[in-house]
A = this chain, B = another copy of it.
């Protein structure tokens, strides 16, 4: 690897993704031997000393149990340890480098047992599609898993045959022979396509007493240490290996630093018109997913840091508007969401601002990857379309219903700057969807935008100014308050207007963000009766949980909820399904009346 141990942030340096994250102690040891630098940033930097290794896994140490760059080990770009994700991260890093015109190489070590994870094969397909040269996957085939020997399906010959069938160039070597290792890396350097090294290795190589047993996650005792060291000394040095200990070569030149300035989309009218939505603008009626597409296109024009990924549904999420104009910054990930999310984390680590879109239901395929991206503090923007009951005719397999509960959990976690480590945004109309998309691009951290399928009328004026964490009072009244967001804002406004005609003036709040804008909501509720009806188009645990937590903390107001409480089925129209599940405008009005 070409890198400078004294400057692990160098953007021209080669990178290693240790997908089999549990093997990290040996990387820490080698890094200390090379005099590598640790710390959360350059101001914090200090050399890792061999004696620091004794503090492995301690609360105060940068040396976490698995790779965790956010805790001060910048040699890595992403947290790994939940297996099978690293090769996708490596793809993202290499794509970012290619966009930068950088020749940095990306290495990824994958365990043989780990290669059972489907995501590895998603990454292999993706890298082949992208013809990603400069990417080297090393399969460490030691034959050992946690509970015993790996399956014959993960033996080196089989892995090599699979990798070749997936379109990668491939070398099979004795992973303990320095000559074969260097020769394989030479082949990699010359390769014009993604390259894999299948390394046959022995767990505990060189230490006889560790070869007999499975030392998975078990250190040697101090009494075993002298014998182990003596055993290592007795090993023959390879005749084909280099005479001297390899030292890292210098990094390649760093590409120009990305320009970090506000990325503007102009006015809403400009944004929508330039995407071809002039008519919708005049009619003031547009689906939030289309507005997202328009804003993404404007962002792409404003900054080449913006990149987009989609999983074969860009004509549904409307990422296609960006894809058509910026094909070199759009990555078609096909139907493989896990790889898509981890690749985005790699692109973010490479300095890009990735927007990742699919049906929200299908992003659930990658929740484990989302969690690892959050641990990595990856600046990834997740965009789930067709949320809630919108895809009514398709049936429940296409509906995101547990997504708000999941992301609400992530939203309630703080990052190191004591801010929410994941912002959830639920736009009620096209104006909000455009503005939220732009806010997300300018926020350094993970966000989740929830868009809907149907066209909806504008709720907001074109000049409305939003903050990332906010809420808007849409109707003010002295009765109970409806707190809602997203698609349900429209049903809530219908209900409120019907009630108003009957003389009941209820408050309606668009609580579009999680974490909640507690101040606005509390003020709105205090203005009327201390009774709130939360309305949402998903399973419990989302907005209602957040509002109930606020109410219960203060014991100040009563909260009831309408949400999806049955497993849905198909219906031709969302409105039919909403009524069948008790979420129609008339049903909302009835519940508000009962709260009086």
Contact = CB atoms under 8 A, between A and B. Distances in A.
Interface of A: 21, 57-59, 61, 63-66, 68, 70-71, 79-84, 113-114, 116-122, 125, 128-129, 145-147, 150-154, 158, 161-162, 164-167, 312-316, 320, 332, 334-336, 338-339, 361-362, 364-365, 367-368, 371-372, 374-375, 377, 391, 393-398, 401-402, 405-406, 408-410, 412-415, 421, 530, 538-542, 544-545, 547-549, 551-555, 557-561, 564-567, 569-572, 576-577, 580
Contacts of A122: 116-118
Contacts of A83: 335, 362
Contact of A116 (B57, B68, B336, B552): B336
7 contacts: A57-B394, A64-B569, A65-B391, A83-B335, A113-B312, A409-B541, A545-B548
A397 B68 contact: yes
Contacts of A540: 408-409, 412-413, 545, 549
A571 to B, nearest CB: 4
B565 A57 contact: no
A398 B362 contact: no
B555 A395 contact: no
A145 B334 contact: yes
A580 B61 CA distance: 14
A415 B396 CA distance: 13
Nearest to A400: B371
Given A158-B167, A545-B545, 5 more contacts: A57-B393, A65-B398, A79-B396, A79-B397, A551-B552
A15 to B, nearest CB: 19
Nearest to A405: B409
Given A162-B166, A368-B362, A552-B551, A566 B413 contact: yes
Given A539-B410, A566-B414, A558 B548 contact: no
Shortest 8 CB-CB distances between A and B: which pairs? A118-B118, A81-B397, A405-B409, A412-B540, A545-B545, A552-B559, A555-B558, A59-B571
Number of chain copies forming the complex = 2
Nearest to A338: B118
A57 B558 contact: no
Contacts of A154: 125, 334
Nearest to A568: B375
A66 B395 CA distance: 6
B552 A541 contact: no
A572 B59 contact: yes
B81 A394 contact: yes
A65 B570 contact: yes
A367 B125 CA distance: 23
A402 B406 contact: yes
Nearest to A408: B541
A552 to B, nearest CB: 4
Nearest to A558: B555
Contact of A375 (B365, B371, B375, B397): B397
B145 A335 contact: yes
A91 to B, nearest CB: 14
A203 B374 CA distance: 41
A42 to B, nearest CB: 21
A406 B57 contact: no
A64 B559 contact: no
A364 B368 contact: yes
Contacts of A82: 361-362, 364-365, 397-398
Contacts of A316: 146
A59 B576 CA distance: 8
A500 B162 CA distance: 64
Contacts of A64: 395, 569-570
Nearest to A573: B59
B569 A68 contact: yes
A373 B315 CA distance: 28
A312 to B, nearest CB: 5
Contacts of A61: 570
